[in-house]
Amino acid sequence: MYTTELSKTTNVASTEDPDKLAAFEARVAADEFIEPKDWMPEAYRRTLTRQISQHAHSEIVGMLPEGNWITRAPSLRRKAILLAKVQDEAGHGLYLYSAAETLGTSREQMIEALHSGKAKYSTIFNYPTLTWADIGAIGWLVDGAAIMNQVPLQRTSYGPYARAMVRVCKEESFHQRQGYEIMMAMCAGTADQKRMAQDALNRWWWPSLMMFGPPDADSPNTAQSMRWRIKRETNDELRQKFVDITVPQAAALGLSIPDPALRWNEAKGGHDYGDVDWEEFYAVVRGEGPVAKERIKARRDAWEEGAWVRDAAAAYAAKRNRKAEAA
């Protein structure tokens, strides 16, 4: 999941008007879309604001690990592709911020929450990109996991969020394919290149599984979120799907997934896999990821260094408005 805090309590206050609440629940249960001006319970608004803004922050911070390699892409073709992908992620962030704003939180408040460290984003972006193979592994695994999470959200109950997800999903599939293509090129290359690809898979595999969030047993609000159609499949269901489609993709590359417990289970029609290190996940959520501080510093620096451009644009707009009024 691109959101890491869904386990926060979502107490549906008993202060809500019971008739309105019942009508709302019925609309959502009938798969109707809720639009910005419609009545909604406060807890729904709060949970969605948190989920959509975290998703937006993830897209924006997610540009950093890949941006790290734009100037060092191994060819002009790869550089053009990586630039386009990173630009897409900026677009995804913007669609999502817009969707979150319709719930009544300003862009400024969300950016401020990100920069102050108050807001969370996906744990995956707090890992470093050490080699070019990491760019392949991210496209293949991280965008792959993001797609797995985002496809069902195209039918989420909040209209603006669902529409943003439709756009995002359309654009996301090239992200995964270009990553896989990088992995194919490296696996067909020299022994050293293949070793780099395997090393990248080794480092990104477990953090990718963590992207789906804690096990269902430790996600007390899943039931509520599913009832509200804010979430359409559980963390464990999505994680299982991801493992099952990724295993043959790794085999096609001739790479091995770094999990000795991984094996096909005929009875359940899916793979069994080893235990995810949830201690590591919670540590990264708490802000102890390997490059967490660097990521936020990079965002803050970009914001501060761009201040003069925003100021100039605002001054120009003010001058124009004054002239228009005088005329």
Q: Which is nearer to another protein, 171 or 236 (CB)?
A: 171
Rounded Cα distance, 121 and 60, in Å: 9
> Which of 101, 143, 233, 259 lies at the binding interface for Fe ion (CB under 5 A)?
143
Would you give the binding string for another protein spanning residues 153-172, x where CB under 8 A is met? ----------xx--x---x-
> Which of another protein, Fe ion, none lies near 251, with the C-beta cut-off 5 to 8 A by kind?
none
Q: Which is nearer to Fe ion, 62 or 289 (CB)?
A: 62
Nearest CA-CA partner of 52 in 108, 114, 113, 96 = 96
CB 299 within 8 A of CB 115: yes
Burial class (CB in 10 A: 0-12, 13-18, 19+), 301: exposed
Find the angle CA(47)-CA(32)-CA(229) to the nearest 5 degrees: 35
State yes or no: residue 131 binds another protein (CB under 8 A): no
State yes or no: residue 66 binds Fe ion (CB under 5 A): no
Would you give the binding string for another protein spanning residues 85-124, x where CB under 8 A is met? --xx--x--xx--x--x----xxx---x------------
Q: Which residues pair with 271 in a beta bridge?
A: 264
State yes or no: residue 226 binds another protein (CB under 8 A): no
The terminus-to-terminus CA distance of the chain in angstroms comes to: 53
State yes or no: residue 101 binds Fe ion (CB under 5 A): no
Would you give the binding string for another protein spanning residues 5-44, x where CB under 8 A is met? ------------------------------x-xxx-----
Exposure string over 47-80, b if 16+ CB within 10 A, otherwise e: bbbbbbbbbbbbbbbbbbbbbbbbeebeeeebee
Structure-block tokens of residue 322: 């004054």
Give the type of residue at 21: L
Binding site for another protein (CB under 8 A): 35, 37-39, 84, 87-88, 91, 94-95, 98, 101, 106-108, 112, 163-164, 167, 171, 310-311, 313-314, 316-317, 320
Binding site for Fe ion (CB under 5 A): 59, 89, 92, 143, 172, 175
